[in-house]
């Protein structure tokens, strides 16, 4: 019996070790970005399309939107996540990172230390970004003001605080597949802005018990992670606005009924208003084409 238990224990260790190895946090290959140089001007557009400031500004911050000390708290059923400092500060921010470090975080959810990031950071959608957009965003991020504010720890209890468990989770839910088809250049641009940069699905799509997005109910609305209210669906079955109404709302925050955006959507409007009109039109075309 003792020999059997010892054998089972050893087999268990081998299996556990194999799973951990197979699901380890992986950085991007450095050579993937070697030939790329970033465009700061375009990087600014990527910054706003990606909503970076919406999460990484300080709580209640009303000054420079490019100052990113972090500190905002996001309450979910898995715990409370706190946005980190992503300013160029070399001590408290990401000033010592390389482009490869940045790309690994954004595309793979992997830290420079080789740890999994929690998917409160929406790398599951950013993973669809083009390499050039990542390089451009990194170039712009390095021009932002430093913030000497220490990042605060997440408040996540057992077992959700076990980062190794995110490896199997990524195997299930981290992929670069597009959810919606696109048949025109405008549709492709709208899809890219919504499904990659804008990460709109992170709020507007319901999740399963493991926290993965239910793609069969794409953009159909979801419970608010904080437990207060519901985030509305934006498919044609839930939203009867015209493409022009949607584009105007993304620019101004005003609805066809003369209401205005509030809550976190106000931050989204602030970002979207800085994009070219054709980008807002492309988002509107994508939303109107949803099933």
Q: Under CATH, to which class is 27-176 assigned? A: mainly alpha
| Fold: same for 27-176 and 178-291 | yes
DSSP 155: B
Residue 3: CA atoms inside 13 Å, Cβ hemisphere, count? 0
- Block means of pLDDT (10 residues each) for the chain, 291 residues, are 50 44 73 93 97 91 88 90 96 97 97 95 96 98 96 90 90 94 94 96 93 94 82 94 96 90 87 96 96 81
Which positions ≥6 away from 215 have C-beta within 8 Å?
179, 205
The pLDDT of residue 15: 41
Closest alpha carbon to 68 in 78, 53, 80, 82: 53
Distance CA 169, CA 165 (A): 7
Q: Which residues pair with 224 in a beta bridge?
A: none
The pLDDT of residue 258: 82
The pLDDT of residue 16: 45
Strands 79-82 and 230-231: unpaired
Q: How far apart are the first and last CA of the chain?
A: 59
Distance CA 278, CA 284 (A): 10
The pLDDT of residue 59: 86
The CATH architecture to which 178-291 belongs is Orthogonal Bundle (1.10)
**Full-model pTM:** 0.90
| All structural domains of the chain with their residue ranges | 27-176, 178-291
The pLDDT of residue 2: 53
The pLDDT of residue 291: 81
The pLDDT of residue 63: 79
């Amino acid at each position: 019996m003792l020999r059997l238990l010892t054998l089972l224990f050893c087999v268990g260790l081998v299996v556990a070790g194999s799973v951990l190895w197979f699901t380890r946090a992986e950085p991007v290959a450095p050579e993937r970005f070697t030939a790329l140089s970033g465009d700061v001007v375009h990087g600014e557009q990527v910054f706003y399309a990606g909503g970076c400031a919406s999460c990484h500004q300080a709580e209640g911050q009303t000054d420079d939107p490019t100052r990113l000390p972090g500190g905002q708290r996001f309450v979910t059923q898995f715990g409370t996540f706190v946005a980190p400092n992503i300013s160029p500060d070399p001590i408290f921010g990401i000033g010592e990172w390389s482009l490869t470090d940045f790309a690994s975080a954004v595309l793979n959810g992997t830290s420079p230390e080789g740890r999994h990031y929690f998917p409160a950071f929406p790398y599951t959608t950013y993973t669809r970004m083009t390499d050039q957009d990542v390089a451009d965003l990194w170039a712009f991020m390095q021009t932002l003001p430093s913030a000497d504010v220490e990042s605060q720890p997440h408040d996540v209890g057992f077992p959700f605080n076990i980062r190794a468990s995110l490896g199997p989770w990524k195997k299930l839910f981290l992929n670069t597949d597009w959810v919606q088809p696109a048949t025109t250049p405008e549709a492709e641009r709208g899809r890219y802005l919504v499904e990659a940069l804008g990460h709109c699905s992170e709020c507007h799509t319901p999740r399963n018990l493991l926290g993965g997005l239910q793609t069969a109910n794409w953009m159909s609305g979801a419970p608010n992670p904080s437990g207060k209210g519901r985030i509305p669906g934006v498919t044609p079955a839930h939203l009867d606005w015209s493409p022009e109404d949607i584009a105007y709302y993304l620019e101004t925050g005003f609805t066809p009924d003369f209401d205005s955006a509030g809550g976190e959507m106000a931050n989204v409007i602030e970002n979207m208003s800085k994009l070219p009109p054709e980008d807002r039109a492309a988002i509107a075309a994508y939303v109107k084409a949803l099933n």
